[in-house]
Structure 1
Amino acid sequence: MVLAHPVLDARVALAACERAATRLHEQVAREHGDHLVITFLLLTDCDDPDLLARRILDRAAQPQATDSACALSWSDIKTVSIEFAAMNQFV
């Protein structure tokens, strides 16, 4: 989970998180042979911690291999699951 600095543009923060998630996923796969789903959430505007908790628990329970690495904002996951939002990034 990431809280961006108010001066930092959210697109810049999301792009940096996306790159970090991808690098971490690839490093774990290369060094350990494991498929690990990496998710960064930019939560600066999160106004519903209970919904956020449900979204994170759902993400943790989802099957692996639906996606590998992503960075999403609160607005991306406020109305849909993290899994759905992440898959939409790839299509």
Structure 2
Amino acid sequence: MTRANPDDTIQASAAYAALRYGGAPPGAAQAQLALPTPLASRLETMFSRRSGGGPDPMRPRFARHASHVAAVVAAGGYPALKP
């Protein structure tokens, strides 16, 4: 039986978060880091919980407010937002 080195898990978590914040979808981050599916699922769960909230961690919290979203998009802000 082999056990994961805690340092490897921490590094994988940091690399996974960096890829996801950089815009990589979950599957691409998993493939690029060659992560086993159970670990990738756990990292995605952790990433979703600590990010901006809601179902899409890449979407800022203020995205619920239409006037603010329109102002940010008009200023060239977040590409994930759609007016």
Of structures 1 and 2, the larger Rg is shown by: 2
| TM-score higher than 0.5 | no
Structure having the higher helix fraction is: 2
What TM-score comes out, normalization by structure 2 length? 0.30
